[in-house]
Structure 1
């Protein structure tokens, strides 16, 4: 089993502005030091209330970031709670800038490292689609792959959304490099005609933050409409309540967009965000007929799908490790197998997109059919059980 403490130390070593906060013992969260996120309409009021600690305000699409003066040593969690209020109705939409994760065995993303695999049959549509469907994938980006290299939507991808395979130049594939490409392949296996729109919000180490996710969501809401949004990432929050800033960004997508997010890999029932948000479809992982041992579960999970030894598209990369018994453990030729709630999630997203395209439905109607409890088995801690 992966050492979570060692994983945490690697995150903190790579992200020097990250700190662990633990207002409730045993329920930690990771945040950016001395940063507060504020929903755009609340930015001026929040800045005025924290002006004694605030160094500057950075405005952006959907969110403002307040950078606080480090010498003042403000407790951003206390400030967020004070500004937002402790009751059920928050006064201002304010939150610490939580880190979102996809690093193996660390609260989200893949449950292990990818393994090289032989070619997987390319997705083939069973019939012509009744309408175009777009799936946005907020992840590590997208690498070229034969499954979609000639697609017009791939040619429209910007360089800023390409995968970074070896950011630290150690000749080894970064821990989560290829994650977005893998997720894209899972979507296409269930929605072969879908137009994908990849947005890089995670680094190759599988770490990003709420600020990056919110800005990407705001971009989708403003000009890049998507029928389905796949978020194979997430975090625990300092107070186990949803970040109101992220919640507003998801709400801004509108009622025609379906958001699907992974339930996380901590093997517990602590709410994982944004999967635990009411408007979001939270997806756990199955191993055969049972919950995968690593998968989160709980009242907030809406569905569960296969998440162990999933096969999909991947990057091309040859690392320094020598072959063992004729097999090269770190040479990838465009395909891999991987496990995690990260890969159960795009199956659900793909099934929704595939049904919407093939039957000419709205994404919302397709999601209602896919998650129809009358036609599928259910589990109290896993929601609707989806196997195909």
Structure 2
């Protein structure tokens, strides 16, 4: 949705999201409403402006927001890696790793079975609701972002051997989801908060205003000790990209293959905290068509996964994730890249 004079942003038409208190305040404009996992999704009556209502109620202290559309962030345009391309099998055997490391929650397109984690106890706990689908629309072709979550999982387990993953599906095979679905997933994490939260998706908001419900949900997890890491987006601009630009979230941009310069597609700006290689990475993938379980891909999505894994690797040696994140992002211990923050080596 776009208003005159405002930069474009994607929202679900005619929808607002809120909590129970906000749902009461919205009653006069409500056509239909549903509530699940702490989130109310309200469908407005025809002709009601969701942006105006959200702004008015927000000014009165309610947590009300448009239902922002979020998209996974592999590279979509230009270069040889706009889509995942087949890669040769990677000869890597998962080791036991050090015990007691933090759990990483991965909110993404899901995950599929792979030799790198098939015997892992955490994979046995992944339910069917988190299964990665290759062709959800049944058109006979691989969905554009199918394999995104599996690719990210491979980067995490290689960069931090022995890491435990918890996978929740919030994006479809096109890499598209919305804030309501993300909020429901975050609500389910509250009873057993992960040490690290990897969010390799995002989007813009009308007027570049921070999404209030998402900010509150992530702040609540931070109080429980969770470190949130999010991709800065492939925009490539300094425009805030959410949730990465939220306070307390580690925003990650992408470096080129040599890890010496910004990738041409990466977002940048004072809100970006760290950067890692995001070009032409190889990782696990679906076993379908020309793919044999491995692919190469580019994007800030994958740079974010490398930073999440670097934090997990430090935390395995006896510190809490927040301390590990401070160590990884310590400007006195690593190189800084203008507009992209601290450089985190890939070490794959």
- How high is the TM-score relative to the length of structure 1? 0.84
Whether 1:24 aligns to 2:22 is no
Please give the alpha-carbon distance, in whole angstroms, between the structure 1 residues aligned to 2:98 and 2:28.
57
Give the equivalent residue in structure 2 for 1:154.
Answer: 123
Q: Residue 134 of structure 1 contacts residue 195 of structure 1 at CA under 8 Å; is this kept in 2?
A: yes
Whether 1:257 aligns to 2:231 is no
Give the equivalent residue in structure 2 for 1:94.
Answer: 64
Give the equivalent residue in structure 2 for 1:298.
Answer: 269
Of stretches 377-386 and 278-287 in structure 1, the one that deviates more from structure 2 is 377-386
Partner SS, residue 183 of structure 2 = helix
Spell out, residue by residue over 1:94-136, the C-alpha distance to the aligned partner (whole angstroms, 9 max, x if none).
11001000265569xx9710010011132544x7514132110
Spell out, residue by residue over 1:227-252, the C-alpha distance to the aligned partner (whole angstroms, 9 max, x if none).
10100000101120110001111112
Whether 1:82 aligns to 2:40 is no
Please give the alpha-carbon distance, in whole angstroms, between the structure 2 residues aligned to 1:270 and 1:68.
29
Whether 1:369 aligns to 2:345 is no
Please give the alpha-carbon distance, in whole angstroms, between the structure 2 residues aligned to 1:176 and 1:232.
12
Cα 1:123–1:226 change in 2 (3 A) is farther
Deviation at 1:311, TM superposition (A): 0.7
Q: Residue 63 of structure 1 contacts residue 245 of structure 1 at CA under 8 Å; is this kept in 2?
A: no
Q: Residue 103 of structure 1 contacts residue 176 of structure 1 at CA under 8 Å; is this kept in 2?
A: no
Give the equivalent residue in structure 2 for 1:379.
Answer: 337
Stretches of structure 1 that go unaligned for 5 or more consecutive residues are 1-19, 319-330
Q: Residue 103 of structure 1 contacts residue 175 of structure 1 at CA under 8 Å; is this kept in 2?
A: no
User: Which of 81, 98, 110 in structure 2 is aligned with 1:129?
Assistant: 98
Spell out, residue by residue over 1:191-215, the C-alpha distance to the aligned partner (whole angstroms, 9 max, x if none).
1111111111000001000011111
Give the equivalent residue in structure 2 for 1:307.
Answer: 278
Partner SS, residue 66 of structure 2 = strand
User: Which of 189, 193, 198 in structure 2 is aligned with 1:225?
Assistant: 193
Partner SS, residue 149 of structure 1 = coil
Partner SS, residue 228 of structure 2 = strand
Give the equivalent residue in structure 2 for 1:236.
Answer: 204
Q: Residue 86 of structure 2 contacts residue 291 of structure 2 at CA under 8 Å; is this kept in 1?
A: yes
Cα 1:123–1:63 change in 2 (3 A) is farther
Q: Residue 303 of structure 1 contacts residue 384 of structure 1 at CA under 8 Å; is this kept in 2?
A: yes
Deviation at 1:181, TM superposition (A): 0.1
Give the equivalent residue in structure 2 for 1:49.
Answer: 25
Give the equivalent residue in structure 2 for 1:354.
Answer: 313
Please give the alpha-carbon distance, in whole angstroms, between the structure 1 residues aligned to 2:235 and 2:292.
30
Give the equivalent residue in structure 1 for 2:90.
Answer: 120
- How high is the TM-score relative to the length of structure 2? 0.93
Deviation at 1:23, TM superposition (A): 5.1
